[in-house]
Chain A
Amino acid sequence: MSTVKFTVSALAVIAASATAAAARDQIQVSGSSTVLPYSTIVAELFGENAGFPVPVVESGGTGGGLQKFCEGVGENTVDIANASRPIRDKERETCTANGVTDIMEVRIGYDGIVFANSASGPDFAYTPADWFNALSAKVVKDGQVVDNPNTTWDQVNPDLPQQEILAFIPGTKHGTREVFEEKVIAAGCEESGALEAFKASGMDEDAAEEACTTLRTDGKAVDIDGDYTETLARIESSPNGIGVFGLSFYENNTDKLKVGTISGVTPSTESIASGEYPVSRPLFFYVKKAHIGQIDGLKDFVEFFVSDEVAGPDGPLAEYGLVSDPELAATQEAVANETTMQ
C-alpha cells in the first residue's frame, strides 16, 4: 500500500506548491551572454550590500531574453532583460501586444570587440579594409569584382605577416556578429573603395551593400555559434586562427591571446571610451516599470547597477572590461525618474 501513500504525498506536494506559488522575493534577469558577467558581478555585490536576495541571472542570448521579457507582466515573467543591442521595433510590438508597455531602457556602458590571435603568433595591425579583403566573398582586384582569391594575410596587405587566413567569427545568432559586419566589414568595404566598385559593376545600392557583408564560405571564415571559450579553444588547436572576442574576455586571457590593433589603435577601456578604437557597441538592459514596487528591490537594483561605485570608471565593472559610459549621470537621472521608452 506504500504506493497509495506515495501518491497521496505527491499530490500534497503539488497542492502545497500551488499555494506557495504566489510570492517571489528575488529579481529575475535574463538575456545577453555578453552582459551576463556584468550582471552577475552587480547581482553579487547587490546581494552582499543591499540586504535583498541576490537576483537570479539567466543567459539566453539577447533575442531569447527579450522574448521572455515580452511574454507579459506578472510574477512568473522576468523583470529585466539584458541586451547587447537596442530592442527592435518588432520586439517592442510583441511586448505591447502582451501588455508590456512601460519599458525603461538603461545603457550600462560599452563593450569593445577585439581581434586576437594565439599569444605565440605574430603581431597584427589591421585596418577594417584588411578584414574586408580577407573575409568578403567578393573583392575588387585590378578594378574587377572577383571571388576572393586571398589565402594569406600578406596577400591582403603586404604589411601583414605571411599567415594563412583563418578567422573565427561569431555566428549569426550573436549580437556581436551584427557589430562585426557593420563596423568592420562594411566599414572596410567602403574604406577600400569596394563599395563604389560594386556599384560601378552594375549593382544597385542594396545589392552592393549586401555584397559588402557577404562573407566567403570556403572555410576561411568559420562561424562560432558557441561562446568565446569555444573560439579560444579553436585558436589553441589551430594557431593560425584569429578570433573575434569581447574586450573583457581578452583581458581575462591575455596570457593566451595577443590582440591586434585596428587602424593603429590598441583596444583598451580608455581607447574605446575616447572613441579612438572603432569597434564597440553599447550594452543595455530593459526593465519592466510595472514590476517596480511589485518585486522587492527592483528599483534599488537598477539604481545600484548604474551607480558611480559600480558602473563608474573605477568600479568593478570597468575593472572587468566594461567601458564606462561617459553619460552615466544622465542614465542615473533617467533611472531615478523611472523614465520609460517612447
Chain B
Amino acid sequence: MTDMPLSQPAAAPERRTGSLLAQDARTRRRNAAESRFRGYGVAAIAISMLALVVLLATILSGGAGAFRQTYLNIPVTLDAAVLDPKGNRDPAEMAKVLTLSYGRVLDAAVEATVARHGIQIEGLTEKDIDSLISKEASAQVRNRVLADPDLVGQTVEFDVLVGGRIDGFFKGRVTMDSAARDSNTSPQQLQLAQELADRGEMVTRFNWNFLTNADASDQRPEAAGVGVAILGSFYMMLVVLVLAVPIGVSASIYLEEFAPKNRLTDIIEVNISNLAAVPSIVFGILGLAAFINFVGLPQSAPIVGGLVLTLMTLPTIIISTRAALKAVPPSIRDAALGVGASKMQSVFHHVLPLAMPGILTGTIIGLAQALGETAPLLLIGMVAFVRNFPDGLPGGLMDPASALPVQVYNWTQRSDPAFIERASGAIIVLLIFLLCMNLLAIWLRRKFERRW
C-alpha cells in the first residue's frame, strides 16, 4: 500500500464519517461473531466439565464406601472337639476339618458375644445372628489355627469382617426400609449391628484390604479386593514397557532417520496409522490365535495380556516417537554431521536426547491407554475369577492374574449390590493410577523440554 501513489487512492467502499470510536454495523457484526464463538467455546468446556464432575461425583460417591469396611471384634473359643476331633494337634489331620465346621464355631462365638452384652431384640432369629459375620471369617480362623495348632482349646480374639449387608448399613447403602424387604437381612439384624457398634465391638475403619485382597466369590463381597488385579496390571505394564518401548522407538528411529523414502515405507507408514485405529478386540483375537493356540502360552496369564497390549500400544508409541523426532530441528543433525559425526552418532548423541521428552510422553500415554483396556483381555481368558496371587517375577508372568479394568467389568455383573460399590472403588484406584501416569508424563515433558 505504501508504494501506491497518493493521487490514486484505492477505491474505498464508502467514506467513513463520524467518530472512530463509534462502531459501524460491520464491526459490530464481526465483534458479535467473535463473542458468540467465545460463548460456544465456554459452553463446550462447561459441558465437558459438567460431564466430568457428574462422572467423578457418581464414582466417588459410589466407590468411597469400598475404602471403608466394618469389622467385628469377637473372642472365639476354639472348640477342640470340633476343630481337632482326634486330639493329636496334627496340622495334616486338622486340615480335614473344613471351613464349614469353623463356621459353626464362629456362629457360637457371635451368639456368645450377643449374650454377653445382654442384647435383647424382639424377633431376632438365630439366622440373623449367624449371618452377621462374613463367610470369609471361617477361612481366616482356620488359617490361623492351622498355622498354630496350639491355639485349639483356647479363646482367641479375632477381628472378623461383617457381612456385606451389615457393612452396607454403616455406609448408608442398606436402610431399615430396604432391610424389611430384603431376604438376606432384617431390621432386627441391623438393630443388633447398631447395638454392637454402640458398644464399640463393631467398628468401621479404613480398608487396606481392598487394595491387597484378591477377588472373592458372590457370597462374600466384603472380602473382595483389587490386589490380584493391581499385580496383574503391573505385570502387563512391565511386559508392555519392556517390549513396546525398545521395539517402537527403534522402529521409529529407523523409519524417521534411516529409511529411504519410497513406496514401501509409505505403505508401512499408512499401515501403522491404520493399526492405531484398529478396535482393540481385534488384537485380542490375534493374541488368542498367535500366543495361546500357536505358541502355546497359558490362558489368563499376564505375559499373554502384556504381549497383546504391546501390539496395541506399538502404533501409538511409533507415531508419537516419530512426531518427537520430526520436531527436532534439522540444524541439529546438520551441525552434528558437519563436525564429522556419523549418521548414527548424530541420531543417538543429539537427536534422540532432544526427542526424549516427546517419546516419554507418548510412551506413558500409550501405557495409560493399555492399562485401561478390557476388550482384548476378554478373549485370552483374563476376564476371570482369580483368587490366588501370581508368583514373583519372572515366573508370575505365567500365572493366572486379573487386571484392574477387568475387575471392574467382573464386579458390575455380580448380583450382590455390594459389588457395585467395589466396582466404583476399583474405578477410583484405576483413575488414580492413570492420573499418576499422566502427571508423570507432564512432569517429564516440563523437565526435559527444549524450545528453539
Q: With A20-B397, A44-B220 given, name 5 new contacts (CB 8 A).
A: A3-B246, A9-B242, A33-B413, A254-B181, A320-B218
A37 engages B300 (CB within 8 Å): no
Could you tell me if A254 and B387 are in contact, using CB atoms closer than 8 angstroms? no
Taking the closest CB of chain B, its distance from the CB of A2, in whole angstroms, is 8
Partner of B250 from the list A3, A44, A56, A71 (CB cut-off 8 Å) is A3
Contact of B385 among A3, A58, A119, A249 (CB under 8 A): A58
The answer to whether B181 and A37 have CB atoms under 8 Å apart is no
Of B174, B239, B299, B387, which contacts A43 at CB under 8 A?
B387
The interface residues of chain B lying within 8 Å CB-to-CB of A119 are 181
Residues in chain B near residue A43, CB distance under 8 A: 217, 385, 387
Let me know if B246 and A47 touch, CB within 8 A: no
Binds B, one of A22-30, A168-176, A182-190: A22-30
Please name all residues of chain B whose beta carbon is closer than 8 Å to the beta carbon of A28 when the two chains form the complex: 299-300, 381, 400
Q: Are A44 and B216 closer than 8 Å at their CB atoms? A: yes
Q: Interface with B: A10-18, A127-135, A153-161, which one?
A: A10-18
Partner of A6, one of B246, B292, B400: B246
B58 at the interface (CB under 8 A from A): no
Closest to A56 in B: B400
B386 beta carbon closer than 8 Å to chain A: yes
| Interface 1/0 per residue, B244-275 and A, CB below 8 Å | 01110110000000000000000000000000
Q: A10 contacts which chain B residues (CB < 8 A)?
A: 242-243, 246-247
| 7 A–B pairs (Cβ distance < 8 Å), ordered by A | A7-B250, A9-B242, A17-B303, A28-B381, A44-B220, A57-B384, A320-B218
B363 to chain A, nearest CB (A): 12
Rounded to whole angstroms, the CA-CA distance of A56 and B402 in the bound complex is 10
Cβ-neighbour of B139 out of A6, A48, A320 (below 8 A): A48
Interface of A is mostly: helix
Quick one: which of A21, A47, A59 contacts B398, CB cutoff 8 A? A21
Taken together as a complex, chains A and B put the C-alpha atoms of A42 and B118 apart, in Å, by: 37
Let me know if B383 is at the binding interface, CB within 8 A.
yes
Chain A: minimal CB distance from B43 (Å):
28
Nearest-CB residue, chain B, relative to A315: B100
Contact A21 to B217, CB < 8 A, known contacts A45-B99, A316-B135? no
A252, B415: Cβ atoms closer than 8 Å: yes
Flag if A48 contacts B296 (CB, 8 Å): no
> Given the complex of chains A and B, what is the CA–CA distance between A280 and B189 in angstroms?
32
Q: Are A254 and B98 in contact (CB under 8 A)?
A: no
A20 CA to B392 CA, complexed, in Å: 13
The interface centre, meaning the residue of B249, B303, B383 with most chain A CB atoms within 10 A of its CB, is: B303
The answer to whether B218 touches A37 (Cβ under 8 A) is: yes
Separation of A254 and B378 alpha carbons in the complex (Å): 31
Q: Which residue of chain B has the shortest Cβ distance to A6 in the bound complex? A: B246
Cα separation A21 to B247 with both chains bound (whole Å): 24
Cα A53 to Cα B214 with chains together (Å): 13
> A243-273: contact bitstring with B at CB < 8 Å (1 yes, 0 no)?
0000011011111100000000000000000
Find out whether the CB atom of A17 lies under 8 angstroms from the CB atom of B398: yes
Check if B297 is an interface residue, CB within 8 A of chain A.
Answer: yes
Report the Cα distance A8→B79, complex, angstroms.
58
| Count class of interface residues, chain B | 35 or more
Chain B, residues 362-393, CB within 8 Å of chain A (1/0): the string is 00000000000000001001011111100000
- Note all chain A residues with C-beta closer than 8 A to B378: 60
5 nearest interchain CB pairs?
A6-B246, A54-B387, A255-B178, A58-B384, A40-B217
**Per-position binary interface string of chain A over residues 224-259, scored 1 when its CB falls under 8 Å from any chain B CB and 0 otherwise:** 000111000000000000000000110111111000
Chain B positions within 8 Å of A6 at CB level: 242, 245-246
Please state if B239 and A13 are interface contacts (CB–CB under 8 Å): yes
Q: Is A294 on the interface with B (CB-CB < 8 A)?
A: no
Q: Are A309 and B300 in contact (CB under 8 A)?
A: no
- Which of B100, B178, B385 counts the most chain A CB atoms within 10 A? B385
Check if A255 sits within 8 Å of B179, measured CB to CB: yes
Say if the beta carbon of A51 comes within 8 Å of chain B: yes
Question: In whole angstroms, what is the CA distance A53 to B399 when docked?
Answer: 11
Judge whether B397 and A21 touch: CB under 8 Å. no
Q: Is B297 a contact partner of A37 (Cβ separation < 8 A)?
A: no
**Which of chain B's residues have a CB closer than 8 A to the CB of A3?**
246, 249-250
A26-B400, A28-B299, A253-B415 are known contacts. Are A76 and B292 too (CB-CB below 8 A)? yes
B73 within 8 A of A: no
Q: Which residues of B contact A13 (CB under 8 A)?
A: 239, 242-243, 394, 397
Name B217's contact: one of A1, A41, A254 (CB within 8 Å). Answer: A41
Asked if B98 and A20 make an inter-chain contact with CB atoms under 8 angstroms apart, the answer reads no
A21: which of B218, B297, B400 is its contact (CB, 8 Å)? B297
Among B179, B243, B249, B385, which residue has its beta carbon within 8 angstroms of that of A56?
A: B385
Contact of A17 among B216, B388, B397, B416 (CB under 8 A): B397
Bound together, the chains give a CA A309 to CA B96 distance in angstroms of 13
Residues of chain A lying within 8 A (CB to CB) of residue B216: 44
Decide if A251 touches B183 in the complex (CB within 8 Å).
yes
Q: Which residues of B contact A316 (CB under 8 A)?
A: 100, 135, 219
- Give the contacting residue for A37; candidates B95, B182, B217, B298; CB below 8 A: B217
Q: Do residues B394 and A41 form an inter-chain contact, with CB atoms below 8 A?
A: no
Q: For residue B218, which residues in chain A have a CB less than 8 angstroms away from its CB? A: 37, 40-41, 252, 320
Q: Does A196 contact B (CB under 8 A)?
A: no
Cβ contacts B393-434/A at 8 Å (1 or 0 each): 011011010000000000011111100000000000000000
